A and B are shown apart, each in its own frame.
Chain A
Amino acid sequence: MSEFVIIYFALLVIASCGAAYYGQRPAFLTLFSLTLVSFVLGIVGGVSALQFVAIAAGLLAFAAGISYSFREFLVAITKGNLSKELKTAPLTAAFGMFVIFTYAIAGIFAPFIAPYGEAEVIAAAFAPADENMLLGADQLGRDMFSRLIYGARNTVGLALVATSAAFFMGATAGLLAATKGGWFDQFMGRFADVVMSIPSLIFALLMLSIFGPEIHVIIIAVAIIYAPRVFRLTRAVAGNVVVMDYIEAAKLRGEGTGYLIRREILPNATAPLVAEFGLEFCFVFLLVAGLSFLGLGIQPPTADWGSMVRENATLISFGVVTPLIPAAAIALLTVAVNFVVDWMLFRSSGLKE
């Protein structure tokens, strides 16, 4: 038995006892069941399985620590209601905010943070990581870390603008359709059907072939592709609200459409829309990666996470992690955004538990 295993179990048992002694029931249950599971795991998977658990637990603890500090940091620098709200945020939401904050900093200050330029060739192809290159080099010998940083600026910026545009168009149309009803509703519904039934890659191909592969065309094309999805969802949610009695009452009061949408419908339709935003945001990365499959994406040598995954994807078949790095960058952001979304969802639902 190695020293590692002895220390591993000793720590667990001490921590469990500590938790039990101070009456921390959930912590005790978690720690002690982990101890029991570790016995089985150690027998089945050997030391390496336990090491994996230890590393995962370490990472989790580290993330929790950072989230906690970041939340306290936010609470400290904000004032009034906002500060109070932030105090109630769960750790996961704080973690999400921290990641988003980091990405935003990376994106905004990319040229100052990245050690090399995004197109600068500095090493051999797929050179391993060393003290100069944190994550090694890509297929042309460019610094992977620098490209990731620049990718944050390019990819997230594009996704943010495109998703916001899609939501603005889709939600406005959906709310109007739900309140106005009649032919406007029908027309918008059919129009959305038409756009959605054309496969998105083919639609993008047409747009970009006609208007040229410029960045603003990509944004508009992506927004048009996603707007009908938002429209349909908004229409469905708002449709449920519109038939409520209080809307009926408001209509009888003689309130205008604008009032109905802003004060009555929108507050009740926000939650599903926010949930949708968290996901669509991530889908945009993937659509842009799909576009580069047709040779239509962002112009080279601009770094873009989706394309970075695509360029080296086949390496994964040999267990090489290069393509996993940009994929992980996307995944981390998706998870972070959705953690924050979950919190907002929970708040807007008015649940108090």
Chain B
Amino acid sequence: MKKDQALIDRLAEEARKGRISRRNFMHYSLAAGLTASSATGLWTTTAMAQPKPGGVFRLGAHDGNTSDTHDPGTYLSFSVIQLAHTYRAYLTLIEPDGSNGPDVATEWSATPDAKEWTFKLNERATFHSGGKVTANDVIASMNHHRGEDSTSAAKALLKDVEDIVDNGDNSVTFKLGSSNADLPWLMTDYHLPICPANADGSLNWQSGDGCGPYKLVEAEFGVGFRLVRHEDWHLEGAYFDEIVIQVLNDPNARQTALVTGDVDAITQLELKTLALLQRNPQIAIDNVPSAAAITMPMFCDTAPFDNVDVRNALKLSIDRQEIIDKIAFGTATMGNDFHHSPAMPYWPDDLEQTPYDPDQAKALLKKAGAEGLSVDLSVADSVFSGAVDLCVLYAEHAKAAGININVIREPNDGYYSDVWLKKPWCAVQWGARPTPDVMYSLAYKDDAAWNESRWQNARFNELLRTAKAELDDAKRAEMYREMAILAKDDGGTVIPMFPNFVYARRSNVMHGEQLAASWQMDGARACSRWWFG
């Protein structure tokens, strides 16, 4: 076979810029006439160049408010979550391959009933101000979110924790009221970084001290942050010498800053311009399937949604492929009305996809005696970019089934306090959660405060409880499969898609082969995982 030198050169160039995966590289190299071993050699010399330290990494981040603070209990905007993963560290973290890995805790184990979890702390972990990270600090960091007068948004997350004890050997034990096999996953939640404790056991979050890869030098919330490497960081990585995070709320400002080279990477691309930005050879785009979701919960106890046939008719009246093409511009995974994305563990891959079938929807409505159904769907521009358009498109699809969906644009301001959980049908965006248990317990459990569809299904809730205590992965997977079927066929939530995380960098910025799917920017850890090539 003749070697196609032009193609090989182009592949090498693409690989050097990190714009091609190893798998595709090998595939095309073989097609271009290289032998497998020389292709591997070429890959290692070009793309897999070892991370090298140095440089100032300037990141343009969206969603920053001048009213943000260092308080981990009220972390909300993305720019602060990005910052939190850069200057602070957590007990455990999500690895690029999606597994649960060590951070401040080096190892952990549970009693067989999953009611007690012991985390062993890393001896090398230190705060930027100098002190070692102790069991005391971990306990104060957790207690900040617990107790009567805690103002933390993570209070519900740690509801089951009854006590946290210092074992005296640089380890802590969490004692739970009920079994939870997912506690180590919970510890990756962005609200739960480890901060230094005060003498009285309260948490010192105000100083902006942390034990993460970079030390905060300057901070102006809603404007930007400057950080330098914490030389004694306890993990591998932190290749950049210095990090500058600049808050760029406007999508056009972010994009322009990247194109003109004012920043090295940006979060959250405007999907409308994705195809146009892709043409720029200086820019590499990362498109990562995620566990974030768009949901449209209907109140299952409110007419007309109290009839399962009506709910299923609405699920059949949405053309998901067109939604993905026109709203996400191809960057999303199709949803199937159960809140469990392929980017989460235990995903059941053999369930039948609900099609767009207006005729069947009509038949179901006839059966329910609800022909000519007319319903209101509330949405706001701020839910996600394209949210209103998505609902307008859905309304067009539903017309074919004789359903009139009346799209109501609610004010951005106060959407989550006035519309969500209050209006019988609305659109919501959920951030990525690490496991199906966390997600289902938050928003689908019968007595959950955020049971957004008010769905009550005895079998589903029983399975949820059993699966939570089950340490055997195969059995758990089987239970989550059954729950998925229940949610899909009986539940009250339409889930059109799981949007991907789409972000971009200058092509001289390198990253590993896989990107974590927990947050944008490699699980919000781009600053400590990426490097300049």
Interface residues of A (CB under 8 A from B): 119-121, 124-126, 139-141, 205, 208-209, 213, 292, 294-297, 299-301, 311-315, 317-318, 320
Contacts of B388 in A (CB 8 A): 300
CB within 8 Å for A140 and B413 given contacts A124-B325, A317-B252: no
The answer for the CA separation of A140 and B396 in the assembled complex, in Å, is 11
Contact of A294 with B396 in the complex, beta carbons under 8 Å: no
CB within 8 Å for A140 and B393 given contacts A125-B329, A313-B252, A317-B252: yes
Contacts of B342 in A (CB 8 A): none
The answer for the CA separation of A53 and B276 in the assembled complex, in Å, is 30
Told that A205-B413, A314-B251 touch, could you supply 10 new A-B pairs with CB distance under 8 A? A119-B396, A121-B393, A121-B396, A139-B272, A205-B411, A294-B412, A299-B409, A301-B395, A318-B277, A320-B276
Interface residues of B in 239-259 (CB under 8 A from A): 251-252, 255-256, 259
Looking at the assembled complex, report how far the CB atom of B386 sits from the nearest CB atom of chain A, in whole angstroms.
Answer: 8
Contacts of B412 in A (CB 8 A): 294-295
Specify which of B251, B386, B408, B411 is in contact with A296 (CB 8 Å cutoff).
B411
Contact of A209 with B414 in the complex, beta carbons under 8 Å: yes
Contact of A119 with B408 in the complex, beta carbons under 8 Å: no
The answer for the CA separation of A173 and B7 in the assembled complex, in Å, is 76
Closest Cβ neighbor of B269 among chain A residues: A314
Contacts of B393 in A (CB 8 A): 121, 140
Cβ of B326 within 8 Å of any chain A Cβ, yes or no, is yes
CB within 8 Å for A300 and B409 given contacts A121-B393, A140-B393, A317-B256: yes
Q: Give chain B's interface secondary structure class.
A: helix
CB within 8 Å for A125 and B325 given contacts A140-B393, A295-B381: yes
Contact of B252 with A314 in the complex, beta carbons under 8 Å: yes
Most buried by A among B272, B329, B388, B414: B272
Looking at the assembled complex, report how far the CB atom of B380 sits from the nearest CB atom of chain A, in whole angstroms.
Answer: 5
Most buried by A among B388, B393, B395, B409: B409
CB within 8 Å for A301 and B407 given contacts A295-B380, A313-B252: yes
Cβ of B270 within 8 Å of any chain A Cβ, yes or no, is yes
Looking at the assembled complex, report how far the CB atom of A283 sits from the nearest CB atom of chain B, in whole angstroms.
Answer: 22
What are 27 A-B residue pairs whose CB atoms fall within 8 Å in the complex?
Answer: A119-B395, A125-B329, A140-B326, A140-B389, A205-B411, A208-B411, A209-B411, A292-B381, A294-B412, A294-B413, A295-B415, A297-B409, A299-B407, A299-B409, A300-B389, A300-B391, A300-B392, A300-B407, A300-B409, A301-B392, A313-B252, A314-B252, A314-B255, A314-B273, A315-B273, A317-B273, A318-B276
Looking at the assembled complex, report how far the CB atom of B155 sits from the nearest CB atom of chain A, in whole angstroms.
Answer: 28
The answer for the CA separation of A294 and B411 in the assembled complex, in Å, is 7
Contacts of B325 in A (CB 8 A): 124-125
The answer for the CA separation of A213 and B409 in the assembled complex, in Å, is 8
Contacts of B354 in A (CB 8 A): none
Most buried by B among A121, A208, A292: A121
Contacts of B326 in A (CB 8 A): 124-125, 139-141
